[in-house]
Amino acid sequence: MDYLSSGFSDVDRSSDPSFFASCLITLNSLTYFQDYKRKSFDLMGAIEGSRVLEVGCGLGFDAISLSRIVGGFGRVVALDSSLGMVEAAKSSARPLGLAIDFMLGDAGQMGFREGSFDCARVDRTLQHIPQPERVLAEMVRVIKRKGHIVAYEPDWGTFTIGCCDRKTTRKLTDFWCDSFRSGWIGRLLYKHFRRLELEDIRIFPSTLLVTDLSLAERIFDLSRNAERALDLGLISKQEAEGWLRQLREDDSSGEFFCSYTGFLAAGRKE
């Protein structure tokens, strides 16, 4: 079975890639994500004619937005480790006639020359990488002096679910966090940026609130996460069934609640 927390690290091996594409489409439709994305574009400092790097392009939504910012005299290079995602992004962008190069590649070992880009951005990709500092170091290497890098990442240690069963909830939120390759990356962005000797580092926290169980299932994989924890012996069948029943009851009464905090980080290369 595919899981959102671990499966994004190797989408091409998935039995159902559309499961991951559907999640990305849902996230892209939400105001929370639209708002921080606009802010991240502003922090990059991209202007008409800029050459921009987008790391972890997914279905290409953000690369398309950036291409409209840099215009016909600029260029967006959008990189992803999934061939399926790259092909889907190309298909979406092709009719628009925008200046985007979608490329398959390893973000931790990019083949670009030093100083190839004016700025670079990564969004919700580092959480799926075991050594995110390597990717950030590569991003710094390939941008010009005085260029900006921007990263947005969740901190899954901040994931909350408003269920009265504290014991089971703690087990499942910790399990969700630890299922990511880098579940704490949000809180570590400042440290990584400092170690890369970036200047003018700024961190902007923002919290997503979800009060609809159906939406939470699509973006947080709650039932699958509980079933997986059950299969691994982390919780009992009674705990899993009771916890999921409580979520459904809370949703029916309009009391369902969950949230997480993400961090948008920006810095400038010396």
**Span 104-149, pLDDT tens digits:** 999 999 999 999 999 999 999 999 999 999 999 999 999 999 999 9
- Cα–Cα distance for residue pair 257/181, rounded to 1 Å: 26
Give the torsion sign (CA, 213, 156, 128, 67). Answer: positive
48-56 mean pLDDT: 98
Q: Give the confidence band of 71 by pLDDT, cuts at 50, 70, 90.
A: very high
The candidate with the shortest Cα–Cα distance to 83, out of 116, 108, 106, is: 106
Tens of pLDDT along 166-218?
999 999 999 999 999 999 999 999 999 999 999 999 999 999 999 999 999 99
Q: Is residue 109 part of a domain?
A: yes
Q: Please give the mean pLDDT across all residues of the chain.
A: 97
Whether residue 18 is predicted with pLDDT greater than 90 in this model: the reply is: yes
Phi, psi dihedral angles at 128 (to 5 degrees): -100, 10
The candidate with the shortest Cα–Cα distance to 61, out of 33, 28, 35, 83, is: 28
| Degrees to nearest 5, angle at CA 30 with 160 and 15 | 80
- Cα–Cα distance for residue pair 107/139, rounded to 1 Å: 8
What's the domain count of the chain? 1
The candidate with the shortest Cα–Cα distance to 89, out of 11, 203, 150, is: 11
Task: Give percent of the chain above pLDDT 90.
Answer: 99
pLDDT at residue 144, as a whole number: 98
Q: 203-225 burial, b if ≥16 CB within 10 A, otherwise e? A: eeeeebebeebeebbbbbbbbbb
Structural domain boundaries, residue 121: 4-159+180-209+261-268
Whether residue 1 is predicted with pLDDT greater than 90 in this model: the reply is: no
**CATH value at residue 116:** 3.40.50.150
Give the torsion sign (CA, 113, 115, 119, 120). Answer: positive
- Cα–Cα distance for residue pair 21/8, rounded to 1 Å: 10
Q: Is residue 154 part of a domain?
A: yes
Q: Is residue 48 part of a domain?
A: yes
Whether residue 251 is predicted with pLDDT greater than 90 in this model: the reply is: yes
139-165 mean pLDDT: 98
Q: Is residue 194 part of a domain?
A: yes
81 within 8 A of 65, measured Cβ to Cβ = no
Q: Is residue 67 part of a domain?
A: yes
5-12 mean pLDDT: 96
79 within 8 A of 56, measured Cβ to Cβ = yes
Q: Tell me the residue ranges of DSSP E strands in the chain.
A: 51-55, 75-80, 100-104, 117-123, 143-161, 199-210, 258-268
Q: Is residue 237 part of a domain?
A: no
Q: Is residue 238 part of a domain?
A: no
Q: Is residue 236 part of a domain?
A: no
